[in-house]
Amino acid sequence: MGDNVPFFGDHVELSDGANDFASTVGVGGVVGTQFVLPSLVTKHGKSDLTPEREKEFGKWLRIYHDKMLSKGQYLGQLYDIGFDVPETHVIRKDQAMYYAFFAKQWKGPVELRGLEDRNYSVVDYVTGKNLGIVSGHNAHLPVEFDQHLLLEVVPR
């Protein structure tokens, strides 16, 4: 199909506690759902778009539209998802590198592969939290997270 075909993994409400946005957005996928507007159905179910789900869906759609990682370059050669822990995916877009880390729980350093020998600012782009500065093509960053951590790494 070519390099410009967007990835669609699954409906975000079908796995990971009915809130699987991070594993779609973090790998450069297109967010998809089968949420149902409750006002349009007579029989309600677990796919109803509740006010809480609508708020969460809106947050992730804003992140998706802001970063548009689906238009970036997936760098699958940097990590082996079968052997490297935590599971890591990287997308290069413009001057930034976007790292998606996944683990049930993680506390310790993560390696930011694929960087040039220079300084970079690191931000958790879901929470907006600044995680500091890393340097070089062999950068490590101490982190702690549950489920996922999505980082934007930008040259300084």
Per-residue pLDDT, 57: 85
Q: How far apart are CA 40 and CA 138, in angstroms?
A: 53
Tokens 């390696």 locate to 111
**Residue 114 main-chain phi, psi, to 5 deg:** 90, 5
Six-digit token string for 110:
């993560």
The residue among 149, 142, 89 whose CA lies nearest residue 125 is 149
Rounded to the nearest 10°, the torsion over CA 123, 136, 116, 3 is -50
Q: What pLDDT, in 10s, does the model give residues 15-30?
A: 555 557 888 889 888 8
Per-residue pLDDT, 110: 98
Higher pLDDT, 50 or 32: 50
6 confidence band (pLDDT: 50, 70, 90): low
Domain locations in the chain?
Answer: 12-71, 73-155
Higher pLDDT, 9 or 74: 74
Task: Compute CA 31 distance to the chain's CA centroid, rounded to the nearest angstrom.
Answer: 11
Mean pLDDT over residues 10-14, rounded? 54
The C-alpha angle 56, 92, 127, rounded to 5 degrees, equals 30
8 confidence band (pLDDT: 50, 70, 90): low
Q: What pLDDT, in 10s, does the model give residues 122-147?
A: 999 999 999 999 998 889 999 999 99
Residue 2 scores a pLDDT above 60: no
Please, where are the H alpha helices in the chain?
22-25, 51-67
Per-residue pLDDT, 62: 95
pTM of the model: 0.88
Q: What pLDDT, in 10s, does the model give residues 36-93?
A: 888 888 888 878 888 888 898 899 999 999 999 999 999 999 999 889 999 999 999 9
Question: 73-155 domain in CATH 2.60.40.1180?
Answer: yes
